[in-house]
Amino acid sequence: MKYLLLIHSNPVTWGHPSFLHAEEGIKLPKSARVALTAQLDGLIAELKERGELVALEPLAAPKTTKVVRVREGVRAVTDGPYSEAKEQLAGFFLIDVDSPERAEEVAARIPEAQFFAVELRPIDDLS
């Protein structure tokens, strides 16, 4: 079963370069960021070893986002993420696992699950 794990994050938490001067949010100390990065690296290594990782990608800073809408045949492009929230879609994992329970286990081990959320979406087979 394939699942898309959508990682929601507040860039301030990780000290993302696009938010270095932001005062909102919780910026973790470097030692905590190092520990969480090690946790994530361990999870990625395990998923690769088990053959469960299909793809994973981080997304660029939210300030680089464009939103495209077409209304009555007219395209409108605006800056910024779709939602006006501190938390943004930060990246994704695409996994192929044996059960929904395993997908939930993987999602719970992504560090952002401790701070914000990891959305778990089954991939539909439309064939």
What is the reported pTM?
A: 0.80
3-state helix, strand, coil in the chain (%, to 5): 35, 30, 35
Q: What's at 36, amino acid-wise?
A: L
Report, as an integer, the average pLDDT of 62-79: 87
- When mean pLDDT is compared across 20-24, 39-43, 49-53, the lowest value belongs to 20-24
Residue 103 near residue 97, CB atoms below 8 Å? yes
- Report residue 74: phi and psi, to 5°: -105, 125
What is the per-residue pLDDT across 99-127, written as a single tens digit (0 to 9) for each? 999 999 999 999 989 888 899 999 998 88
